[in-house]
Amino acid sequence: MSAKQKARLFASNASGGAAIEFALIVPFLIMLLFGIFAFGWSMNNESSVRYALETSARSLQLNRTLTQAQIQAIATQKLQALGLQNVTVTITTDPPSGGFKMAHVSASYAFVINFPYFSDFPINYSTTVTVPLINS
């Protein structure tokens, strides 16, 4: 068999082609899957922060004498049960108008997505819940 025939036979051999394609594509598919999971987890955390904020705002609506520290403690208690930390809760109230005033309970939360071999990707969330405080 001549060298030309050996080269032609080697070039026409397709065994292992699928394995090479698989090896080239799999890292990107794994990164895509990891990214989808991380994004879903961040959306879950954002929803949990919003839920804790709504619960705190309802507590404020039922008991208008609560201070900002007490509201933050209620929200923190809910968030710690979910494993979330570093959430900042603030309360602002508008001046009374028409027999009631509005309270705005806000929260900000930073979620960091860690991709292997890449720098961290922080996502900052902030949400506000507004509740009426009726004068009695």
Query: Which residue range(s) make up the domain with 72?
Result: 3-134
Based on the structure, what is the number of domains in the chain?
Answer: 1
- Dmax over CA atoms of the chain, in Å, equals 102
* pLDDT at 15 (0 to 100): 77
pLDDT tens for each residue of 47-75: 988 998 898 889 888 888 888 888 888 88
* pLDDT at 110 (0 to 100): 86
Instruction: Band the pLDDT of 135: cuts 50, 70, 90.
Output: low
What is the dihedral angle through the alpha carbons of 112, 115, 120, 122, rounded to the nearest 10 degrees? -30
Instruction: Band the pLDDT of 136: cuts 50, 70, 90.
Output: low
Question: pTM of the full predicted structure?
Answer: 0.72
Q: How far apart are CA 76 and CA 57, in angstroms?
A: 13
CA distances from 1 to 10, 12, 33, 68, 124 (A): 13, 16, 49, 88, 67
Residues contacting residue 132 through CB under 8 Å, at least 6 positions apart: 61, 100, 101, 102, 103
Q: Shortest CA distance to 26 belongs to which of 14, 18, 16, 15?
A: 18
Q: How far apart are CA 77 and CA 40, in angstroms?
A: 23
